[in-house]
Amino acid sequence: MKRILLVVVFALIVLLVISEIMLRIIWGFGAPLLSVPDADIDYYFRPDQKCVRFGNRVVYNNKSMRMDYDIKDADRNCIDRIIVCGDSVINGGTLTDQKDVATNIVQSRYPTNVVQVLNVSAGSWGPGNILAYLKKFGGFDATGIIIEVDSHDLWEDDPRVSGGSIVGRDLAFPGEKPICAIHELLTRYVWPSIRSKLGLGTVNYKVDVPHWGSETDIEAQTYNLNCMAELYRLPVKHKALLIHRSRSESASGLLTYGEQRFREQAEEFGVAVYLLELDPDSDYRDIIHPNESGQCKMADLIDKIYRDMKDNEVSNAEAID
């Protein structure tokens, strides 16, 4: 009996070890991307991170940007820097490989000693998070800034009054590494799924859960529009608004209230507005996020915006002459 028990225990240990190794190698469990809590930004990704998650390579540089190279002060006077900022649409998340992120596709078209495309983003960031990040880290002497918004961004919460940072409280934003890969699988994915199926309540994931508010929610609208106004007033030569629509919004083709408010404000500030046109049947991986083909289309649009900015520089220079 004792021998059988030892064999069973040994087999379980071997199974656990094999499972741990496979979870780490195949899916990247045990080493999730970590976030940093911040009183003003709420959260941003920890700098200098590299991992392979769900088969996709994910890299964050020294300024917590989803980029393959670090930002150096010495480069500032000899290149164009374009900040592309937004939420998980711009970030791509762990389901998008580093090379397939729109900003990195654009970067691959230009030498980094001529143009640098900076990806300032995190899942569920709204105008307030973006503004707070740029206040904390600076504008990197950028010549242009492209701000991506969705219609629901009109109702994003003020990160300073949202009850404290979500890092460590929301499963999508861990601040520390889990005990092991198996522990992460069970606590972050299996147990929340069981809770939901048993009707015990769901675990809130802030990321990937867009929230559309009411037209009568004036407080949230005012806050987010004020943040956008501050972004438009930043000392950056060129500014553009990139509007992204959810799958259902793309399918209907209708102008939503949130998009209309963002468009009207951009026009008041003289900021060019660009719509990311995606096919609802082939360019989304879920209700809101672009897949690989969607990221390619977004890269083409970002590239066009950059070239329009350069054309405006030439036109202005010729007008002065």
Q: Has residue 11 been placed in a domain? A: no
Q: pLDDT: is 48 or 4 the higher one?
A: 48
- For the cut 90, the answer to whether the pLDDT of residue 108 exceeds it is yes
In this prediction, residue 78 has a pLDDT band, given cuts at 50, 70 and 90, of low
| Over residues 61-79, mean pLDDT | 85
The pLDDT value given to residue 214: 67
Q: Has residue 171 been placed in a domain? A: no
| Over residues 294-314, mean pLDDT | 94
Q: What is the DSSP string of 84-123?
A: EEESHHHH--TTS-GGGSHHHHHHTTS-TTTEEEEEEE-T
- For the cut 90, the answer to whether the pLDDT of residue 256 exceeds it is yes
Q: Has residue 26 been placed in a domain? A: no
| Over residues 310-315, mean pLDDT | 77
Q: Has residue 87 been placed in a domain? A: yes
Measuring CA to CA, how many Å separate 154 from each of 40, 63, 120, 204?
18, 27, 19, 21
As beta bridge partners, residue 51 has 58
- For the cut 70, the answer to whether the pLDDT of residue 285 exceeds it is yes
CB 83, CB 144: distance < 8 Å: yes
pLDDT tens digits, 288-301? 999 999 999 999 99
Q: pLDDT: is 168 or 115 the higher one?
A: 115
CA distance 195 to 200: 5
Q: What is the DSSP string of 163-223?
A: SS--BTTBTTS-SS--S-HHHHIIIIIIHHHHHHHTTS-PPP--TT------TT-HHHHHH
The pLDDT value given to residue 208: 46
- Which among 249, 273, 295 is positioned nearest to 104, based on CA atoms? 295
Q: Has residue 8 been placed in a domain? A: no
Q: For residue 139, give its domain range.
A: 50-163+214-320
Q: Has residue 307 been placed in a domain? A: yes
Residue 11: strand, helix, or coil:
helix
Report the CATH number that the domain containing residue 84 is assigned in CATH.
Answer: 3.40.50.1110
pTM of the model: 0.91
Percent of the chain with pLDDT over 70: 90
Q: Has residue 6 been placed in a domain? A: no
Q: Has residue 67 been placed in a domain? A: yes
pLDDT tens digits, 185-208? 999 989 888 887 887 766 655 544
Provide the domain count of the chain. Answer: 1
CB 83, CB 118: distance < 8 Å: yes
The pLDDT value given to residue 216: 66
